[in-house]
């Protein structure tokens, strides 16, 4: 015999079902005003308990819930869990606290403990935090992301590590250059800087160079991925504020001391022809061929004055971040038949 049920627990605005069991969802609309303020989840639990008392199966109760609540219906695993609790004798419609674990690990004390550990060691791993705080990995992760609002960032790799001595040398050099410019504003115009760069027989163009203007909805252009050619030639360039003073190409590998001394001899002759009656200061980086004993002796005997270059200071080489990128940009995407064609290409006019 079906036991009596309080109809005030039924949901309103339910379409009538064909079976006899659906009559419980067609109660008076006036009685449903009492539960309109209830939470949607609690309403579903009440109806599940009501269907359980009517000895409905879970499948039948689930069909009724989907008809009533539509897209707001609870997940099928939750409805099954509530049905198992009802079969076990549970009559409560609220979630019970589980005694075997804490309700939450994001307490103010735990948040402060994680903050203190991270302030002590910012490179600590998540596993070490879990071990030290004895919290779950999920709790520690939520404390870091939501409470402390911290994000794990990889370290930025530098080409070299500056020691305190290197830092002092860079500071002294920058101070000296600044003082020289203040005393003589034309000091920078006397500097001739030089550097080397590889020019390839084929250098693929960048993605930005292959970009196109497209209308909304047009497919993204595709571009084949090519590798840099093995055949290459070394460009040695000397330039000042007025433009290129001297440049030449070297084949057969990198520049050694003997080859560099010959390049300096040809540069001195080009400097005499293009910049006569002017005293120039040569600026070079700290490459082995530039700072060798024979190179320094050659500069001393020829009377060529130089500007010191601090160790591990690539930011003081304007050729790398300005000149070579501008010169080699026309090279990208073009295939040259040989290195001779590369040397005589139109882009060489930018060097003259």
Tell me which H or E stretch contains 268.
Answer: helix 257-274
The verdict on 24 and 113 lying in the same domain is: no
Residue 215 placed within a domain: no
- Decide: 226 and 335 in contact? Cβ < 8 Å: no
Query: Six-digit token pair at 153?
Result: 């960032």
Residue labelled with tokens 């005694």? 99
Clarify whether residues 58 and 114 are in a common domain.
no
The pLDDT of residue 8: 39
- Show the tokens assigned to 225: 């991925």
Q: What is the CATH classification number for the domain harbouring 295?
A: 3.30.420.10
For 36-87, the DSSP string reads TTS-HHHHHHHHHHHHHHTT--HHHHHHHHHHHHGGGPPPHHHHHHHHHHHH
Report whether pLDDT(301) > 60.
Answer: yes
Question: What CATH number has the domain bearing residue 74?
Answer: 1.10.10.1450
Identify whether residues 138 and 282 lie together within a single domain. Answer: no
The answer to whether residues 122 and 81 belong to one domain is no
Rounded CA-CA distance 152/197 in Å is 37
The reported pLDDT for the residue numbered 98 is 56
List 29's β-bridge partners, or say none: none
Model pLDDT for residues 81-115, shown as the tens digit of each residue: 888 888 888 888 776 655 555 556 788 999 999 99
pLDDT band at 25; cut points 50, 70, 90 = very low
139: in domain: yes
Clarify whether residues 119 and 29 are in a common domain: no
Rounded to an integer, the average pLDDT of 116-144 is: 90
65, exposed or middle or buried, with CB in 10 Å at 0-12, 13-18, 19+?
buried
User: For the segment 323-334, what is each residue's pLDDT rounded down to a tens digit?
Assistant: 887 887 777 777
Domain of 312? 186-209+225-351
Tell whether 300 is covered by a domain: yes
- The structural domain count of the chain equals 3
Burial class (CB in 10 A: 0-12, 13-18, 19+), 274: middle
Question: Beta-carbon neighbour count of residue 120 at 10 Å?
Answer: 8
Q: Helix or strand or coil: residue 217?
A: coil
Whether residues 50 and 121 share a domain: the answer is no
| Shared-domain flag, residues 124 and 270 | no
Judge if 65 and 113 occupy the same domain.
no
Does the pTM surpass 0.85? The reply is no
Q: In residues, how long is the chain?
A: 352
For residue 173, tell me if it sits in a domain: no
Distance of CA 128 to the CA centre of its chain: 25
What is the dihedral sign for C-alpha 251, 252, 254, 260? Answer: negative
Do 301 and 236 share a structural domain?
yes
Does residue 56 share a domain with residue 12?
Answer: yes
Is residue 49, in this structure, part of any structural domain at all? Answer: yes
236 lies in the same domain as 322: yes
Which pLDDT value is given to residue 3? 39
The answer to whether position 278 is within a domain reads yes
Is residue 180 situated within a structural domain? no
User: In this structure, are 77 and 114 located in the same domain?
Assistant: no
Is 24 domain-assigned? yes
Q: How sure is the predictor about 224, in pLDDT bands with cuts at 50, 70 and 90?
A: low
């Amino acid at each position: 015999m079906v036991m009596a049920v309080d109809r005030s627990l039924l949901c309103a605005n339910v379409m009538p079902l064909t079976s006899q069991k659906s009559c419980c969802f067609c109660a008076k609309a006036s009685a449903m005003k009492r539960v309109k303020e209830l939470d949607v989840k609690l309403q579903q639990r009440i109806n599940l308990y009501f269907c359980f008392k009517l000895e409905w199966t879970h499948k039948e109760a689930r069909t009724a819930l989907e008809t009533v609540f539509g897209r707001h219906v609870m997940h099928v695993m939750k409805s099954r869990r509530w049905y198992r609790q009802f079969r076990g004798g549970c009559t409560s419609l609220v979630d019970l606290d589980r005694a075997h674990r804490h309700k939450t690990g994001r307490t103010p004390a735990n948040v402060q403990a994680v903050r203190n550990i991270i302030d002590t060691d910012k490179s600590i791993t998540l596993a070490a935090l879990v071990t030290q705080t004895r919290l779950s990995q999920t709790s520690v992760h939520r404390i870091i992301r939501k409470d402390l609002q911290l994000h794990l960032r990889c370290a930025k790799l530098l080409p070299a590590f500056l020691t305190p001595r290197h830092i002092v040398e860079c500071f002294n050099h920058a101070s000296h250059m600044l003082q020289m410019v203040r005393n003589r504003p034309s000091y920078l115009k006397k500097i001739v800087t030089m550097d080397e760069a590889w020019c390839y027989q084929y250098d693929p163009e960048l993605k930005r160079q292959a970009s196109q203007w497209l209308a909304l909805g047009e497919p993204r252009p595709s571009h084949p991925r090519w590798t840099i050619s093995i055949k290459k030639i070394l460009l040695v360039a000397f330039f000042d504020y007025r433009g290129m003073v001297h440049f030449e190409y070297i084949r057969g590998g990198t520049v050694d001391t003997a080859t560099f001394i010959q390049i300096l001899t040809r540069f001195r002759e080009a400097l005499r022809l293009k910049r006569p009656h002017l005293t120039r200061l040569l600026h070079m980086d700290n490459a082995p061929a530039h700072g060798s004993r024979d190179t320094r002796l050659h500069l001393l005997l020829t009377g060529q004055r130089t500007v010191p270059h601090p160790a591990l200071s690539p930011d003081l080489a304007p050729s790398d971040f300005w000149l070579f990128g501008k010169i080699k940009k026309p090279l990208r995407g073009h295939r040259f038949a040989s290195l001779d064609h590369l040397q005589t290409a139109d882009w060489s006019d930018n060097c003259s």
